[in-house]
Structure 1
Amino acid sequence: MNPYRSMLFVPGHKPSWAEKAVAAGADAIILDLEDSVPAADKDEARQTVRETIDRLRAQNVRADIWVRTNSVDSGLFGADIERVLGPGLAGLLLPKVFDAKEIVQIDAVVSHVEKREGLDSGSVGLIVSFETAVSMAHCEDLAVASPRVSSLLGATGPNADVGRELGFEFTPEGLETLYLRSRIILAARAAGLHHPVCGVWQDMKDLDGFRRFAEDNRRLGYKGIVLIHPSHVEIANEVFTPSPEKVDFYRRMIAAFEDAEARGSAAVDFEGQHIDLAHAKTARSVINLAEAIGVG
């Protein structure tokens, strides 16, 4: 999966909002068919989403386009897939998943529609959103359930699905979800998924609070965040972009290690720090991320 610092939700039945998301600078746009779309508008929203994908694809927008489908147990998932899966779609954000068997079934359905639509096999990715207690208890199995799984979403937020499922009281400090968010990070990394994303900050006006929330999740190991408002995009992109100072520091570290290596040493004193191959690998991962984002 491409590194997404910011993934912005757009209600699927609001076509003009997609351009606003693009203008805000989001790395990815999630056209939503689930909670933000009224039940009576679901069918029309599917058509609108497909038209929006086609329009943005024709405009050659930089942002990747994802779709949040309705959950499998809603009975609406099949109709969502049949209508929206096609050229220009990077993948599906899967809400309210329960177990690995469900991912395997989704993979089979997506494979069938991919083939029918003439898409490259495996081109449609999956992001698993952990919103049920069952899924959280089995996040390791879900992470490896299909090669299509591109990332894991460690969802939080007050008064929403996660809080209701687990019965916690949300706080900005996040101690009540620290175990859950940490476990999802571990499951992602153990499965070779290097770009887990977090979410969601619901207070649209508290930008300072959002910045702290994003920074806390970055320190924990998340590489991007799912957003519900365009005003959060700029902050998210800043928080999850390695600073020029950090990039320069790690470039100097790599140069120092390579120089030591050329002289037959596997370790070196770098600006007062003992570094070896492990540190050089960490430095290279930061540089690779910066280059992928386009700031390296």
Structure 2
Amino acid sequence: MKPYRTLLFVPGHKPDWVLKALRTGADAIVLDLEDSVPEAEKESARKAVADTIIAVREHDSEVGLFVRPNGLGTRTTGADLEAVVLPGLTGIFAPKIETVHDVVAYDALLDHFEQRNGAGRQRVIVPVETVKAIHNCREIALASPRIAAMIGPTAEHADIAREVGFEWSAEGTETLYLRSRILLACREAGLHALTGLWEELGDLDGLAGFADGGRRLGFRGMVVIHPSHVPVVNAAFTPSETDIAFYRGLADAYLAGERVGDGAVRYRGLHIDRAHYDKALQWLEHAAELTEGNRNV
């Protein structure tokens, strides 16, 4: 999956909000059929989301486009997927996944509706929302090649806060263990590691610090719920020119030393060897993927 820095949620029954969402520069849009859609609007929202997918692709072929269906326990997931797994959809943001069996169920449903509706192969983003999902995160991450990303939980008032019972703080120490488990599962399975969620809509300075902390921990993008959050989070997860120059210089310094038979050299006051060089290459590769794969980098 592309290294999306921002996934911006839009209620599925509010198609007029989508063009505004696209103008924010978000790397991916998530059209929601679950929590943000009132029960009375669920059925009409499916049609609205299907129309929105077509409309978005007429204007933008690059933005990631995902749908969050209702969870398997509602027994309406199939109806959601039947309506929205269409050409142009990137994938599914699959809520309430707790076990490998849930992944298998999504695999079967997606296989069916991809063929029926002529859609491309869908990728799956898994938000970790329950205690059971935290315990099973490694097995879930490895359960299917469709799984492309997982989200380390941080929300102040959402499912995970209720399930675990933590008291939220901007520093995030109460969710550090939870997020770290998800991050390690992502690294082992080769998934895109995402974090979220910042709920204080007007506190952009707090958001910037929170996103920066997620990046330093090892995450590479974040779920956002308001258009004003997109440029802040994009900036936090975009390598700076200073950092790019540092790692390019490090790689060049190591190679120069290697050519004269030195396996360890001095660079900007640092002792560097092969491990540092390998990290620099990985970091530069990530920066190049962002430039090629996302908009407004």
Please give the TM-score of this superposition, normalised by the length of structure 1: 0.95
CA distance in 2, matches of 1:24, 1:209: 19
Aligned to 2:161: 163
CA shift at 1:61, angstroms? Answer: 4.4
Which shifted more, 60-69 or 75-84? 60-69
Aligned partner (choices 258, 261, 282) of residue 261 of structure 1: 258
Aligned to 2:244: 247
Aligned to 1:173: 171
Contact 2:153–2:175 at 8 Å: present in 1 too?
no
Aligned to 2:21: 21
Contact 2:88–2:119 at 8 Å: present in 1 too?
no
Which shifted more, 1-10 or 253-262? 253-262
What SS does structure 2 have at the residue aligned with 1:201? Answer: coil
Pairs within 5 Å for 1:206-221: 206-221=203-218
What SS does structure 2 have at the residue aligned with 1:30? Answer: strand
State the identity %. 46
What SS does structure 2 have at the residue aligned with 1:196? Answer: strand
1:223 aligns with 2:220: yes
Pairs within 5 Å for 1:96-175: 96-120=96-120, 123-175=121-173
CA shift at 1:45, angstroms? Answer: 0.7
Q: Which amino acid aligns with 1:36?
A: S
Q: Which amino acid aligns with 1:227?
A: V
CA distance in 2, matches of 1:258, 1:53: 48
CA offsets 1:51-109 (integer angstroms, 9 cap, x no match): 11111111124321011111100111111110100111111111111111110111111
Contact 2:92–2:122 at 8 Å: present in 1 too?
yes
CA distance in 2, matches of 1:16, 1:264: 62
CA distance in 1, matches of 2:19, 2:272: 46
Contact 2:153–2:178 at 8 Å: present in 1 too?
no
CA distance in 1, matches of 2:137, 2:218: 16
Pair 1:72–1:272, CA change in 2 (3 A): same
Which shifted more, 270-279 or 88-97? 270-279
Contact 1:6–1:237 at 8 Å: present in 2 too?
yes
CA shift at 1:263, angstroms? Answer: 2.7
CA shift at 1:4, angstroms? Answer: 0.8
What SS does structure 2 have at the residue aligned with 1:294? Answer: helix
CA shift at 1:269, angstroms? Answer: 1.6
Q: Write out the 4+ residue segments of structure 1 that deviate beyond 6 Å after TM superposition.
A: none
Contact 2:264–2:271 at 8 Å: present in 1 too?
yes
Q: Which amino acid aligns with 2:35?
A: D
Aligned partner (choices 182, 195, 198) of residue 198 of structure 1: 195
CA offsets 1:15-35 (integer angstroms, 9 cap, x no match): 111111110110100111110
CA shift at 1:117, angstroms? Answer: 2.6
CA distance in 2, matches of 1:97, 1:257: 45
State the aligned residue count: 293
CA shift at 1:175, angstroms? Answer: 1.2
Gaps of 5+ in 1: none
Please give the TM-score of this superposition, normalised by the length of structure 2: 0.95
CA offsets 1:110-156 (integer angstroms, 9 cap, x no match): 11211223344xx2100111111111111111111111000101122
Which shifted more, 167-176 or 239-248? 167-176
Aligned partner (choices 272, 276, 280) of residue 273 of structure 2: 276
CA shift at 1:266, angstroms? Answer: 2.7
CA distance in 2, matches of 1:158, 1:214: 15
Gaps of 5+ in 2: none
What SS does structure 1 have at the residue aligned with 2:134? Answer: helix
